[in-house]
Amino acid sequence: MRDYYSNVIKNIQVGYACHRRVNNGKNEDIRYEIIEVNKEFEAILGKSSGELIGRDSSHVMAGFANNGIASRDVHCATHHYGKKVRFKHYSIIRERWYDVDAFRVKDNHIVTILKEVVMPINERPHFFNASQYVDHCNILVDTVMNALFEKNHREMLHSKRVGSLCEAIAENMKGNNIDVKEVTMAGLLHDIGKIAVSNDILDKKGKLITEEWDQIKTHCEKGYRILCGSLAFSRISDFVYEHHERLDGSGYPRGLRKAEISLGARIIAV
């Protein structure tokens, strides 16, 4: 029976690939390599299984320079949250666009399924343009926010409010070399590390005990590690890491003072 399903996968007219996480001992490094492909996947990519097996998944799925960043973000989102993520891939060989569904099948393994998508002629760009890059970057944001919503509705609403306030502050400080989009995104994502904090602690009524408070404090570094593993969001990871630091050095996790704290983190703190 196993051989039967294996033959079906090999010959089905849908691209299939299985990716395994490469663990070099650094938990924040989210990198995958291809370990299995079918004939259709080979045809879409224009490469043989020998050329694909063992290759870095982000490089294989890229096709364009910016798309490599998007692929890395897909791996990060799928790995951390176990969500199915959809993005588009352009086959240079076939000159067609494909919908790619990526999902985690078990720890450290991701499967991608490629299906041809019918697009109107005016929506068939022959290169990977800036607007598509933005759409792909938003894959991670949408996945994170959906995961946060499922875990704790109040926390998601709080994050959205902080993102809006950060945008308003940054807009009024444009003359200070501030990237409004980056600060807004950091405000939206500043508490994503709370994904790893128990809801019993987040929803507790009354004063937290020392051990619980210590757990809360870990969310800054956990959020940083999630974002720094994504090439598209590594620039704002420091803002997330430092958003509970205070000018007088009384904040956490590192007790930074004044100019040691990034401007984006100071805006989020406000």
SS3 content of the chain, % helix, strand, coil (to 5): 55, 15, 30
90 beta partners: 97
What is the rounded CA–CA span in Å between residue 157 and residue 167?
16
**Would you state the structure tokens that stand for residue 38, as one six-digit string?**
């079918």
Cis peptide before 253 (omega within 30 of 0): yes
Total Cβ atoms within 10 A of residue 150:
12
Per the residue annotation, which of 47, 106, 160, 194 is the catalytic one?
Answer: 194
What is the rounded CA–CA span in Å between residue 139 and residue 81?
12
Sign of CA dihedral 225, 228, 231, 237: positive
Active site residue 194: yes
**Which of 123, 55, 128, 56 shows the shortest CA–CA distance to 92?**
128
For 5, 30, 184, 187, the CA distances from 170, given in Å and listed in that order, are 55, 31, 8, 11
**Positions marked active-site:** 194
